[in-house]
Amino acid sequence: MNRTESKGSVSAKSKAKIVRTILGKFRRDPDFIASFFPDLYKELCGPKPKRSRLVPEAYQSGHGELTELERRTREAKLRKIVEKFQTGATLSKDEGLELLEHLAALSLKQVPGYPIALKAVERALSINFNDERDQTRLFRKGRTGKIQRLLPGIDLYLTWDGKMLKIKWHKYDIIRRNKALSFVGLGADSQNDVAGRHDEYVAKAFS
């Protein structure tokens, strides 16, 4: 191979390494790929269903926006399930999945008191988001339309219309999250500044 040809080319070995790096990043942090490489994200998620024209616009991409009506409707349904949980009632599996779908659509930062909602999901689905091991829980069969990061180390696999398919736990990300949260928890009673800036400290731990 002459130097002119090799200058602008990429070897097969380098291509394979690039592909592995991209796929690894996609598995660990799909939101990163969705944010910076939306076309690549859609390709990695697989083709849309044939009747994609019927899919709500909010789910056409990894970061679709809900309309104001959709947001209010989801918030109301989420509150209703959480309030039922707070009365001591036992939630069904379907209610747990619905609650998780609302959390995914709204994003945690937009849900006041989201830790209670997460606890309700854990009870209803008999899961633990802090479990430090690689695992997958399948709830429905179907084609994955989007992968969304709920918490560091917790990926939600949903259909294009937002139905929950499965949850994946990533051990090492969860270990790091638990360490960050243990710091926040220890300061909750005596350091109001730490407790009040919970998200900021967690974000720093993952930067």
pLDDT in tens, 74-97: 999 999 999 999 999 999 999 999
Give the pLDDT of residue 10.
66
- Are 113 and 154 in a shared domain? yes
Phi then psi for residue 54, to 5 deg, are -90, -5
SS3 160: coil
What is the span of the domain harbouring residue 185?
172-207
Whether residues 93 and 183 fall in one domain = no
My answer on whether 150 and 193 are in the same domain is: no
- Percent of the chain topping pLDDT 90: 44
Same domain, 82 and 179: no
Q: Higher confidence at residue 113 or residue 17?
A: 113
Buried b (16+ CB within 10 A) or exposed e, 111-133: beebeebbebbbebbebebbeee
* 3-class state of residue 101 by DSSP: helix
pLDDT in tens, 134-180: 999 999 999 999 999 998 899 999 998 899 999 999 999 999 888 87
Same domain, 141 and 51: yes
Asked if 188 and 120 sit in the same domain, the reply is: no
How many domains does one find in the chain?
2
Tokens of 102: 């609302």
